Structure 1
Amino acid sequence: MHLKGDGYLLWKHLVYPYVFDLESKPSLLPKPQQLKWNAGAFPLSVATTILVDNPALVKDALVLKNAMEQKGLNVKLADKVSDAANYIQLRLGNVSAPQNQSEAYHLETATDKIVLTANTSQGIFNGIQTLLQLMRDNVFVDASEITDWPAFAWRGFMVDVGRNYQSVKLLKQQIDVMAGYKLNIFHFHPTEDIAWRLQSKLYPQLTDPEYMLRDKGEYYTESDLKELIKYCKDRYITLVPEIDMPGHSGAFKRAMGVDMQSDAGLEIVKNIIKEFCTTYDVPYLHLGADEVKITNQKFLPEVIALTESLGKKVIGWEPGGNFSDGVIRQLWMEGATKVSKNKNIKYLDSRHLYLNHMDPLESVVTIFNRQICNLTEGNENALGGIVCVWNDRAVANEEDVMTMNPVYPGMLTFAERSWQGGGNAGWTATIGQPETERAKAFMEFENRLLDQKQHYFKAMPFNYVRQANLVWDIYGPFDNKGDLTKAFAPEKAKFNASKEKPMYKATGGTLVMRHWWAPQISGVIEEPKENTTWYAQTQIWSDEDKQQEFWIGFNNLSRSMNTDSPNAGTWNNLKSLVWVNNGLVSPPVWKHTNQKGNLEIPLIDEGYEFREPTKITLKKGWNTVKVKLPVGSFKGLNWQNPVKWMFTFVEVIE
């Protein structure tokens, strides 16, 4: 059979998902609002033409053409085709959608043609991203009909480059991923206490290396930022720059010798704003204004008025400073819900959407279950949300931000939720009871997420593995009276799990027994008590005797806290233990044993996602895993060392 013949290509299309362990149909992410699979498929081998008769869509047609050529598919643009030709058509038309019509699209893939219709070129761009996912095997596109639109208008991703500089190349990589999954806001945070990384020709001393505490001398020139703005615009992404004021301004004070809120400081800030707004073509300027005592009541009103007079809309953090109602608020604490009751204020949700505070497996669970703005869809006031990466702690190199935080798993999960809408009321770190609708919905999403990882992220960090198939029996509570080493029935040899009824059944690779931000975020245990010990047990199947890699962890260190490193010979400071087939699994030999928390010392092996996996010998058949989970007081040593009562145990199967 010829390797280019129709029969071979059809066979390749049919076996493709089995060869690469993928879902039978392309795992579209975000999932379209309306999707119907039809019989048949469109052969890409005969699609030589992209039909585009509207000059306004030529730029988007070139996006599709270039992407197809990277797949080895050669196509040309044309404004007409013969009736007999197979083609892909891009056209503007009327696509009805209940909201955000400017981003809506209709995509029909038949056996002889593909027609993508949208109300605007941005809708066409969104449809192209879906079409490229449908082309997963580069051979056929399954016949389907899709009508799609986003539930929320603002679907954003934020990166803090003030604390830890990231190269333009790495930023572009993240922007490319955003575009592929229909995120449309890139929140760029380049000024901080650590360093001011935004060039000012008026005040070049702001980016002088001597005033930076990390990555000295690294900053973004005017041409860098203009390049990033254009790079975003070309992908229908709005770059939202943040110049944080008057807080988070230690680098400004060192460089200028004055406090921002002084009269002299205010004048300098006004000059910086004028320079910025006349230099850069962006519609918004984020002024921060969080985590600071306002000592000059005229500071924010005057800089807001100035910024608005220069044609920019203003965004600020909430809770934050003394804003006018015209300022868009970005919520960062649960207490900010009062803003949503004021119909004069537009707002964005970033509450509990900081990836640097999340265990990778937990991040996907939490974000998937979230209701953005506590709503199932956006409105005129609830614009959407922004998921954030605040890696406060110093890193050894820029790639560590990507490997130590669940950047891409979190980004894709947020893309799903912010496009699809929906979610569940309340905040939770749990998948849900096995076989419930909530657990089934998560498993369906996880299958699509892992398909995306397999297909598009082989060369990028993607710290997530399958967990929805792992079910634990949870036994307890046992009163340990403050003795975390005390042993109870489940770790005794005579304990027969098949005869004991567990208190809970829980699903997942990371189980949060009680969240450190309880009660805002629920964990496995409904009413957790101090000085108790619980046990978790599961069975893992192996087809043969072998060594298998596992992620094992008990205290995911936030990348934003001065958290102490574990003591030698322990998994964590709660005396947690883990056994496989009654054999105790030894904790890592920590490289920062018992180190006092320090934001200037980069993490190195404290998280399971960025250290070598633990190798465990499995026997053929069922293997019993048992985890001991004691806890004393829920009050941590300090806010930098909260009690994280949790564990991770999951096979690393790439």
Structure 2
Amino acid sequence: MTATIKYRIINIVIIFVVLQFFSCGKSNRYNPALIPFPQHLSWNEQTFNLKDSSTAFVQRLVPQIVGVPYNEKEAYQLAVTTDSLILEATTEKGLYRGLQTIKQLSYSIRGNRYLAGCTILDWPAFKVRGFMQDVGRNYQSITMLKEQIDVLAAYKFNVFHFHVTENPGWRLESKIYPQLNSPESMTRQKGKFYTQEDFKELVAYCREREITLIPEFDVPGHSAAFRKALGFETMSDPRVQTVLIDLVDELCSLAPAEVMPYIHLGTDEVWHSYEKPAPTLLPALLERVTQYHGRELIVWRPGQHIEGDSVSITQLWSSNGHPKPGHRYLDCRLNYLNHLDPLSGITQLYFDRINGAAHGDSLRLGGILCCWNDNNVNDEYDILRHNPVYPGILTYSETSWTGQKEDFGENYLAKLPEKGSGLFNEFSAFEDRMIQHRDKYFAGKPFSYIKQTNMEWKILGPIANNDDVDARFSVEDTLQETYQIDTASYSWQGPFVGGTIQLTHYFGYPSYFSREEGTYYAYTQIWSSKEQTVGAWIGFHDWSRSGGRRGGPFPHDGEWHNTHPKAWLNGELIAAPKWNNPGLAGNSEEIPFTDENYFFRKSNSIHLKKGWNEVLLKIPVKNDTWKRMFTFVPVQDNNGTIKEVEGLKFSAEIK
């Protein structure tokens, strides 16, 4: 059996496996939701019966696809009619990308499978479209990683960044230095690591799905487990260089360069003297990776300077990180899922322009979406529950494949465009597609996103409160267009659209209000066709799932947050949750999250009367209030599976 035939058999098996992943739910017959959206698509309203696929489903490699401006190796063209299904690409990789689109075109009627008729010409905007998981801080099982890799493959990602070393543990087996994997060297999930066979299995699993695995040894910072296991007081110890060269050699022995062409060596966040490397360490590792092993070296930026480095790929992780002149780079700024609120964070991912461009070029390689769940977890799957991983992957799939055509800077990183504008309608259409995918493909999986472009708010304030967050104002007594409070006049502003509203963004992105101290009020109405009790996502802060980023003390029982916000529905106060860890100090990263954020705790219960229901929120802020935001969204909560409550309408009209 030739290698090509064997490869095609593997691909066919994968197609059937992933089709099972996409086997449930209903689809619009003639206009199925596609993510990422193709570069060129036209519907023809024909249907192809998949029972005819044995004779009329043609896949073929062609020397060229006309009209593809870049990244042709992953491009494909597709024609679906009543008579035939023809998929063409210049590479096996391109055929695989096209197959993912075909799976999304499928729907069932009375047990028969069909494809919606269309013509597609498609290619990726960026060469690298990746996703990173930090398994150094929190070990994730092979099964859990494979679940995520399957989703990446379905949405045309081509890189899985595997961050296997961190202060809590060195998670990849070393047969040369087995003490690296000893429980004594680890501070979390002690003794949990990936055997070399596990690693090879993951590399192969990714390759079968046309995904390149990029392993990362993060050195010389983030090296507590490394130093503890090997007895090094500092990373400048001359013995460190020999050990790390041995480990790089061992890593490269696990997969050939054509399968694993990139090695990532970190170099970021060297904060302490004991982490600073000897002058020869990083140049020696650069030479070992690139010249001896023939691989590409990736390093974080900002990061340690490497003397004589003219070839590394820099991965930008901070807003302070700028491309190194002449070096290729990957953009990871603004896309850390562990810092993103699921609702406002998705809009940020959607409107953030990867590499600051509509598409890649010889230096702009693309980007990698990152999940750094720094904090300890009770259960590995909490990483997917506590971070908007799956909605984030779908959104990043759209922006990294299709590309963000317009350059609007930071204008929409913390707020939505004006309702009714072209950009707003574009995001709303994407939101509808994502919700269809949520319901069709992610049953039983955590997917923390709810339709929010139909929600609107009026906001009043900030009312000067002289640092008294308990100050009470007449807004709580009567609803009117304007208020005279002391010597100042206040009017409602808006409407502002969204389920989460960032009053002023904590990183300073353009938002709705300037950063002033005082008390805000937010108002909306919810129309219900019947009297009913439903769930509600309610929150006044977003706790980052990352050490040192909690923003201050946790609230006490009976309070939503330490600034004493309040929520009323039809004049009745909505009680705050009884917290599992009230009063917890700010930097307690070893105490796992359980109920801190609205999207992974049990939703509040609210009672809607038939007709219009008034919601009033009070949001006091102080000068040191880091995150000035609120969330209020009615939800249908079925044992943690969240959907929209059907039939609700929203209006911010002051009556």
Structures share fold, TM-score greater than 0.5: yes
Q: Per-residue deviation at 1:48? A: 4.2
| 8 Å Cα contact 1:331/1:347 also seen in 2 | yes
Aligned position for 2:321? 336
Q: Per-residue deviation at 1:555? A: 1.2
Distance verdict in 2 for CA 1:479–1:498, change over 3 Å: closer
Q: Which among 56, 61, 71 is matched to residue 92 of structure 1? A: 61
- Structure 1 residue 522 and structure 2 residue 510: aligned? yes
- Structure 1 residue 116 and structure 2 residue 87: aligned? yes
Indicate the larger mover: 224-233 or 259-268: 259-268
Aligned position for 1:611? 601
| 8 Å Cα contact 2:137/2:168 also seen in 1 | yes
- Structure 1 residue 404 and structure 2 residue 386: aligned? yes
Aligned position for 2:167? 193
Structure 2: runs of 5 or more not aligned? 1-24, 485-489, 637-642, 644-655
Aligned position for 1:134? 105
Distance verdict in 2 for CA 1:389–1:614, change over 3 Å: same
Aligned position for 2:33? 27
| 8 Å Cα contact 1:533/1:631 also seen in 2 | yes
| Separation in 2, partners of 1:295, 1:22 | 58
Which amino acid in 2 is paired with 1:205?
Q
| 8 Å Cα contact 1:297/1:322 also seen in 2 | no
Which amino acid in 1 is paired with 2:52?
A
Aligned position for 1:446? 431
Indicate the larger mover: 312-321 or 356-365: 356-365
| 8 Å Cα contact 1:165/1:219 also seen in 2 | yes
Which amino acid in 1 is paired with 2:243?
I
Q: Per-residue deviation at 1:494? A: 4.8
Give the secondary-structure state (helix, strand or coil) at the position aligned to 1:243.
Answer: strand
Q: Per-residue deviation at 1:150? A: 0.5
Distance verdict in 2 for CA 1:158–1:23, change over 3 Å: farther
Q: TM-score, normalised by structure 1?
A: 0.87
| Separation in 2, partners of 1:40, 1:573 | 58
Task: String of CA shifts for 1:23-77, please: whole Å, max 9, x gaps.
Answer: 9610000000101011321122x3140xxxxxxxxxxxxxxxxxxxxxxxxxxxx
| 8 Å Cα contact 2:220/2:277 also seen in 1 | no
Q: Per-residue deviation at 1:482? A: 1.5
Aligned position for 1:289? 267
Q: Per-residue deviation at 1:260? A: 2.8
| Separation in 2, partners of 1:116, 1:208 | 50
Task: String of CA shifts for 1:141-189, please: whole Å, max 9, x gaps.
Answer: 2211010000011000000000000000100000000000000110000
Q: Which among 359, 362, 367 is matched to residue 385 of structure 1? A: 367
Give the secondary-structure state (helix, strand or coil) at the position aligned to 2:436.
Answer: helix
Q: Per-residue deviation at 1:273? A: 1.1
Aligned position for 1:493? 478
Which amino acid in 1 is paired with 2:58?
Q
Distance verdict in 2 for CA 1:22–1:539, change over 3 Å: farther
Structure 1: runs of 5 or more not aligned? 1-18, 50-80, 82-86, 637-642
Aligned position for 1:458? 443
| Separation in 1, partners of 2:215, 2:370 | 14
| 8 Å Cα contact 2:314/2:323 also seen in 1 | no
Q: Per-residue deviation at 1:22? A: 5.7
- Structure 1 residue 353 and structure 2 residue 335: aligned? yes
| Separation in 1, partners of 2:95, 2:491 | 55
Indicate the larger mover: 479-488 or 423-432: 423-432
The 5 Å alignment of 1:177-326 reads 177-258=151-232, 259-281=234-256, 282-292=260-270, 294-308=276-290, 309-323=292-306, 324-326=309-311
| 8 Å Cα contact 1:432/1:506 also seen in 2 | no
Aligned position for 2:43? 37
Distance verdict in 2 for CA 1:22–1:115, change over 3 Å: closer
Aligned position for 1:84? none
| 8 Å Cα contact 2:89/2:95 also seen in 1 | yes
Give the secondary-structure state (helix, strand or coil) at the position aligned to 1:244.
Answer: strand
Distance verdict in 2 for CA 1:498–1:134, change over 3 Å: farther
Q: Per-residue deviation at 1:497? A: 8.0
Q: Per-residue deviation at 1:609? A: 1.1
Q: TM-score, normalised by structure 2?
A: 0.87
Give the secondary-structure state (helix, strand or coil) at the position aligned to 1:136.
Answer: strand
Q: Per-residue deviation at 1:536? A: 1.4
Q: Per-residue deviation at 1:523? A: 2.5
Name the Cα RMSD after superposition.
1.8
Q: Per-residue deviation at 1:501? A: 5.5
Which amino acid in 2 is paired with 1:484?
V
| Separation in 2, partners of 1:586, 1:317 | 45
Q: Per-residue deviation at 1:568? A: 2.0
| Separation in 2, partners of 1:498, 1:489 | 8
Which amino acid in 2 is paired with 1:508?
G
| 8 Å Cα contact 1:316/1:327 also seen in 2 | yes
| Separation in 2, partners of 1:92, 1:498 | 70
Q: Per-residue deviation at 1:338? A: 4.6
| Separation in 1, partners of 2:254, 2:606 | 58
Indicate the larger mover: 276-285 or 328-337: 276-285
| Separation in 2, partners of 1:425, 1:443 | 17
Aligned position for 1:47? 52
| Separation in 1, partners of 2:438, 2:424 | 21
| 8 Å Cα contact 1:158/1:189 also seen in 2 | yes
Q: Per-residue deviation at 1:591? A: 1.1
Aligned position for 1:569? 558
Q: Per-residue deviation at 1:316? A: 0.3
Q: Per-residue deviation at 1:337? A: 2.2
Q: Per-residue deviation at 1:618? A: 0.3
Which amino acid in 2 is paired with 1:47?
D
Give the secondary-structure state (helix, strand or coil) at the position aligned to 1:198.
Answer: coil
Q: Per-residue deviation at 1:279? A: 2.8
| 8 Å Cα contact 1:480/1:486 also seen in 2 | yes
| 8 Å Cα contact 2:330/2:364 also seen in 1 | yes
- Structure 1 residue 426 and structure 2 residue 432: aligned? no
Q: Per-residue deviation at 1:20? A: 4.9
| 8 Å Cα contact 1:23/1:451 also seen in 2 | no
| Separation in 2, partners of 1:332, 1:524 | 26
| Separation in 1, partners of 2:358, 2:151 | 24
Give the secondary-structure state (helix, strand or coil) at the position aligned to 2:335.
Answer: coil
Aligned position for 1:552? 538
Q: Per-residue deviation at 1:453? A: 0.5
| Separation in 1, partners of 2:278, 2:580 | 46
Which amino acid in 1 is paired with 2:601?
R
Q: Per-residue deviation at 1:476? A: 2.2
The 5 Å alignment of 1:629-644 reads 629-633=619-623, 635=624, 643-644=626-627
Distance verdict in 2 for CA 1:590–1:328, change over 3 Å: same
Give the secondary-structure state (helix, strand or coil) at the position aligned to 2:219.
Answer: coil
| Separation in 1, partners of 2:419, 2:29 | 21
| Separation in 2, partners of 1:99, 1:575 | 53
Distance verdict in 2 for CA 1:543–1:23, change over 3 Å: farther
Distance verdict in 2 for CA 1:269–1:543, change over 3 Å: same
Give the secondary-structure state (helix, strand or coil) at the position aligned to 1:239.
Answer: strand
Percent of pairs with identical residues = 40
Q: Per-residue deviation at 1:471? A: 1.0
Q: Which among 491, 507, 511 is matched to residue 501 of structure 2? A: 511
Q: Per-residue deviation at 1:21? A: 8.3
| Separation in 1, partners of 2:425, 2:29 | 15
Q: Per-residue deviation at 1:140? A: 2.2
Q: Per-residue deviation at 1:291? A: 0.2
Aligned position for 2:8? none
